[in-house]
Amino acid sequence: RDSGPITARTTKSSRSLLTDPRLDQALSDERAGRFLESFRHCLGVLGDNPRNAGALALASRLSMLAGDAANAIAYACEAVRIDTKHPEAQQALNVARQARSATSEAIAAYSQAVDIEPEIALHVIAPGALVPFARMEEAQRLLDEALKHDPGLAQAHAAAANLALRKSEYLGALAGYQRAAFISGRAEYALALSEVLFSLNQHTAADYYRDRALRKQRLYPAHPSTDPTLKVLALMAPGPWSANAPLDFALDRHRVQLSRLYLTESVPPETLQPYNTVINAIGEAEAAQGAIAIARSLSAQTPKTILNDPAHSWKTERTKLAAALQNVAGCRVPQTRRVKRDALTLERNFPMVVRPVDSHGGRGAAKIESRTALAQYLNERPELRFDVAPFVEYRSADGYYRKYRVALVASAPYAYHLAISPEWLVHYIGSETPSTPWMQQEEERFLSDPASVFTNWSSVFPTIAQALGLDYFAIDCSLLPTGEVLIFEADIASLIHCREPAGSYKYHCVPQIFAALQGLLETSAR
């Protein structure tokens, strides 16, 4: 039986590790032979306090009883790591380790799997950037063989999780990375686990394992590529992959070695020296201000050019974007204000768009048209601070709203996608564009000939890039009847990817963005 993952909800510091009544109940159930009930109570304890060594030891014993040696080893290793003197944890580990045998055969099978595709040993990467490959079933068979020989082989569990992500099996990846992290204690597995948890919307647990990883290790070197001539270092904020430029989707890992440095505290400038080029990947956000300040300090101390100069990233903040672009002819940016909850109740300039500070993807965003609607909105939202902007009607003559995403690379604009919706809050994911023929045809025209949509394409977008002083970012915008570009957002951390099938129009158009980024990195490295 696969006992499944532990997920951390919150740590209740007022509750002793040894006095949680649920653990007492779990132990009582274990003695009475009610093993399933015992395990359920045990997971409840660990959900609130994943560092409870007694609960981990119990989970190990119960897993062993169920014949799940892999989880028995994982739980026991984690328990002993937390409390080396915990007698039950040590006993559980001694029992679980008896299930390990033929480790040399296990390592041999694992190595054969990695020989098929070396990237299954690559774990610090955005989960969605891992794609299937031709001999996946063979690699899976070898990993299964490895774990049969040694259910405690952490690297095989991690590689199996990597394969699960390539098949979009996120729960399998979650269990695999948890086992790998528990057994080995390695930071890269904990960081991979945090990204999977984030993808499953388990944000508190994701934060827990990310913090755990970054306390141990901040620099994550690149996985060796076939051509190591271009070594790139990305400066990262300590957040999920979406808080930073998702370079994993844009770079060819066979041509670029991408290392990551999470800026949780100051680092010496010589840290940057081994790399051909350095790029600031940090998306502007309140939670990222500490990392941005460190990046700015690094930039001031090193002769290296840092792409996406962190001294300019503040210009993409919602409340500052309008001022940063005020002198750019042909674009319009509604002024956003940051407002406390109490002050928001006094707003009377309707219609307006309200969203919680630093929210993205439309989460919490609403068009408010009356005092009643505002009161209802605040009744449903717990946040204390909001971004407020006047709503600008941008509906096209046919009654649909259109939102364009434009990537900017070295000041050159590239069409990325067009989302069309009858609703004002437009997002590509969730819109009907990918499944509606006429919308797809219109998107293809935009990607193939963006100047046919924006007549000032070759002037306004390069001028925007120059005004913001950034090298690689994206803009979400629309087109007003006046011909002006209505700017919604500019963001270093915008998602640019191409997962469409070969032969599709996006497959032909979007890779030119990646080629331009490759050229930018190569030019910076000279």
Is cis: bond before 274, omega within 30 of 0? no
In contact, 322 and 335? CB cutoff 8 Å: yes
In this prediction, residue 15 carries a pLDDT of: 39
Reduce the secondary structure of 161-213 to three states and give it as a string: HHHHHHCCCHHHHHHHHHHHHHHHCCHHHHHHHHHHHHHCCCHHHHHHHHHHH
Question: Distance between CA 130 and CA 111 in Å, rounded?
Answer: 20
Give, for 388, the enclosing helix (H) or strand (E). strand 385-390
Residue 50 neighbours by CB distance under 10 Å: 21
- pLDDT band at residue 11, thresholds of 50, 70 and 90? very low
**Which of 161, 153, 148, 159 is CA-nearest to residue 74?**
153
In this prediction, residue 226 carries a pLDDT of: 62
pLDDT (tens digit, 9 = 90+) per residue, 141-192?
999 999 999 999 999 999 999 999 999 999 999 999 999 999 999 999 999 9
Question: Distance between CA 172 and CA 177 in Å, rounded?
Answer: 9
In this prediction, residue 503 carries a pLDDT of: 84
Average pLDDT over the chain reads: 93
In this prediction, residue 227 carries a pLDDT of: 63
In this prediction, residue 430 carries a pLDDT of: 82
Q: Which two tokens stand for residue 65?
A: 């009883």
pLDDT higher than 80, residue 264:
yes
Give, for 20, the enclosing helix (H) or strand (E). none
In this prediction, residue 500 carries a pLDDT of: 82
Q: Which residues 6+ apart lie within 8 Å of 344 measured at CB?
A: 354, 374, 378, 386, 388
Left (φ > 0), alpha (ψ -120 to 50) or beta: where does 288 sit?
alpha
Question: Distance between CA 294 and CA 275 in Å, rounded?
Answer: 18
User: What string of DSSP letters covers 207-247?
Assistant: HHHHHHHHHH-SEEPPPP-S-TTEEEEEEE-SS-GGGB--G
Question: Distance between CA 76 and CA 57 in Å, rounded?
Answer: 6
The average pLDDT across 335-357 equals 95
In contact, 159 and 110? CB cutoff 8 Å: yes
The average pLDDT across 419-437 equals 92
pLDDT higher than 50, residue 205:
yes
In the block, tokens 């434009």 appear at 406
DSSP 282: B
In this prediction, residue 101 carries a pLDDT of: 81
In the block, tokens 């960081």 appear at 191
Burial tier of 525 (Cβ tally within 10 Å: 0-12, 13-18, 19+) = middle
pLDDT (tens digit, 9 = 90+) per residue, 435-494?
999 999 999 999 999 999 999 999 999 999 999 999 999 999 999 999 999 999 999 999
411 in helix, strand or coil? coil
The average pLDDT across 10-20 equals 49
In this prediction, residue 292 carries a pLDDT of: 97
State phi, psi for 338 to the nearest 5 degrees.
-95, 120
In this prediction, residue 13 carries a pLDDT of: 39
